[in-house]
Amino acid sequence: MRVEILNCPIDAMDMNATVSSIDASIQKNERIHHVVVNAAKLVNMRRDATLRDSVINCDIINADGQSVVWAARFLGKPLKERVAGIDLMTALVELARKKKYKIFLLGAREEIVRAVAEKYGEEIVAGYRNGYFDETEAAQVAAEIAASGAQMLFVAMSSPKKEIFLNRFKDALDVPFIMGVGGAFDVVAGRVKRAPAWMQKSGLEWFYRVVQEPRRMWKRYLVTNSVFIYLVLKEKFRIKNG
C-alpha cells in the first residue's frame, strides 16, 4: 500500500517487508529500483522536476527520515516505520552473504569505497568504483557495472546525482536491485560516525550530521527542514478545510 505525502508516493512497508520484497524479486531476476526520501528530498523534489521524476518512477519508495514518518501520521496517512537507507543496505548485505548474492559498490572517494569493499569482502563484492566521473563517462560506468554480474547495486553519491544516474541507466545497468545510499559508505568505512540510536529515534540524526559537518550541512538542513514544516502544516490545513 502507498500513501502520498507532499505529492510523493511512499510505500507503507516496514524493514522486513522491504527486504522480503527485494529478495523475492532478485530470485525471479526481476528489477527493482529503490529510493528513500527524507524532508530535504521531498522539498527539493518540488523545484527539481528531474529529481522528482527519478524518485516517483522507482518501484519501492521508503521513508528514510523520521520527520517523514511523523508528518505522515500528522496528516492521517501513517507509515509503519522509518526504513533508513543505511539500515536497509546493512540488511541487504547480510542477505547477500546468506543467499550468495553479489553486490557492486559505486560512489565516494577511491579510498572510501575501497575500504567498504575490503570490509564486505570478495565473497560478495563483484566490483567497486569511486563516484568521481563526468557525464561523458556515465555510460561506460553503467556498462562496467552490468558486466560485473552483481545482483545488487549500492550508489553512494549526493542527491540528485545518484537518483538521476540510476533512473537514466537502470536498464543498461542490468542489475536486479539498485538503490542510492547517500553517505552510507563514509559511515561503513569509519570516516563518519552515525548518530546514537536515541537520536535516530528522536528524529535528531540530521542535527548530529550538522555538528559533524557544520559548514556543509547547516544551511541545507536549516532551510529544507523549515520549508518541510511549512509545507506539512499547509497540507494539514488543506485537508482539514478540503
> What is the domain range of residue 30?
2-240
Judged against a pLDDT cut of 90, whether residue 43 lies above it is answered with: yes
Q: Are 72 and 79 in contact (CB under 8 A)?
A: yes
Q: What integer best gives the mean pLDDT of the chain?
A: 92
Residue 135 CA to residue 110 CA, distance in Å, equals: 18
Judged against a pLDDT cut of 80, whether residue 192 lies above it is answered with: yes
- In the chain, the number of structural domains is 1
Other beta carbons within 10 angstroms of residue 146's beta carbon come to 17
Q: What is the rounded average pLDDT of the residues 153-170?
A: 94
C-alpha cell at 52: 522528482
Judged against a pLDDT cut of 70, whether residue 217 lies above it is answered with: no
Band of residue 156 on the pLDDT scale cut at 50, 70, 90: very high
Band of residue 65 on the pLDDT scale cut at 50, 70, 90: confident
Band of residue 218 on the pLDDT scale cut at 50, 70, 90: low
Q: What is the rounded average pLDDT of the residues 136-164?
A: 96
The confidence score (pLDDT) of residue 212 equals 72
The confidence score (pLDDT) of residue 208 equals 66
Q: What is the rounded average pLDDT of the residues 45-74?
A: 95
- Asked which of 63-72, 88-97, 158-167, 233-242 is least confident by mean pLDDT, the reply is 233-242
The confidence score (pLDDT) of residue 200 equals 75
Judged against a pLDDT cut of 80, whether residue 19 lies above it is answered with: yes
